[in-house]
Amino acid sequence: MTKKYVYMFDEADWRNKKLFGGKGSSLILMSKLGLNVPPGFVITTEACRDFYLCRKKEIDSLVFEFEKNPPPEVRDEIMKRIWNAIDGLDLPEGLWEQIVEQMHRLEERSGKKFGGEDGTLLLVSVRSGAAVSMPGMMDTVLNLGLNDEAVKTLADLTGNEWFAYDAYRRFLQMFGKIVLEIKEEMFTEIWEEIKKRYNAKEDPEIPVEGLKEAVDRFKEVISKEWGIFPQDPWEQLRLAVKAVFRSWMNPRAIFYRMMNKISSDIADCTAVNVVTMVFGNMGWDSGTGVVFSRNPADGENKLYGEFLPNAQGEDVVAGIRTPMSIDEFRKRFPELYDELYRAAKKLEEVNKDVQDIEFTVENGKLYFLQTRNAKMTPLARVKTAVDMAKEGIISEKEALLKVSPEHVLRLLYPRIDPKVKAEPIAEGLPASPGAVSGKTVFHPDDAVEKARGGEKIILVRVETKPDDVHGFYASVGVLTSRGGMTSHAAVVARAMGKPAVVGAEAVEVHEEERYLKVRDVVVREGDFITIDGNTGKVYLGEVPTVTPGLIPELKELLNWADKYRKLGVRANADLPEDTRKALEFGAEGIGLLRIERMFRKPERLEVLRNVILAETREERIKRLEELTEMIKPDFKEILEIMDGKPVIIRLIDPPLHEFLPSSEEILHQIFDLKMRNGPREEIGKLERLYGRVKVLQEANPMMGHRGVRVGVTYPEIYYYLTKAMVEAAVELMEEGRNPKLEIMIPQVSEVNEIIYVKEKAILPMLKDVARVHGIEFMEEDRTAAYIFKMKDGREHKVLIGTMIECVRACLTADEIAKETAFFSFGTNDLTQATFSFSRDDAENKFIPIYLEEKILPDNPFQTLDVEGVGKLIEMCVRAGRAANPNIEIGICGEHGGDPASIEFLHKAGLDYVSASPFRIPVARLAAARAAVKEKLTEV
- What's the rounded Cα separation, in Å, for the pair 816 and 19? 53
- What's the rounded Cα separation, in Å, for the pair 830 and 832? 5
**In residues, how long is the chain?**
939
**CB 751 within 8 Å of CB 819:** yes
Residue 592 CB: number of other CB atoms within 10 A?
A: 26
Angle of helix 150-158 versus helix 161-174 axis, rounded to 10: 140
Q: What is the DSSP string of 852-870?
A: HTTSSSS-TTTS--IIIII
Rounded to a whole number of angstroms, the distance between the first and last alpha carbons of the chain is 36
**CB 740 within 8 Å of CB 646:** yes
Pairing type for strands 646-650 and 740-745 reads parallel
Residue 251 Cα distances to 45, 60, 248, 273, angstroms: 19, 14, 9, 22
Sequence-distant (6+) residues with CB within 8 A of 938 are none
**Closest by alpha carbon to 140, among 326, 274, 331?**
274
- What's the rounded Cα separation, in Å, for the pair 854 and 195? 51
892 among known catalytic residues:
yes
State which amino acid sits at residue 585. F
Residue 122 per-residue DSSP state = B
Q: Where are the alpha helices (DSSP H) in 739-826?
A: 751-757, 763-773, 807-811, 813-817
Q: What is the DSSP string of 30-69?
A: HHHTT-----EEEE-HHHHHHHHGGGHHHHHHHHHHHTT-
**CB 438 within 8 Å of CB 427:** no
Diameter of the chain measured on Cα atoms = 111
**CB 914 within 8 Å of CB 568:** no
- Catalytic one among 48, 806, 892, 895? 892
668 among known catalytic residues:
no
Query: Cα-flanking dihedrals φ and ψ of residue 787, to 5°?
Result: -115, 130
Q: Tell me the HSE value of 888 on the side-chain side, using a 13 A CA sphere.
A: 19
**CB 305 within 8 Å of CB 157:** no
**CB 42 within 8 Å of CB 24:** yes
- Catalytic one among 48, 269, 407, 488? 488
Residue 659 per-residue DSSP state = G
Residue 177 per-residue DSSP state = I
Pairing type for strands 590-594 and 568-572 reads parallel
Active site members: 488, 892
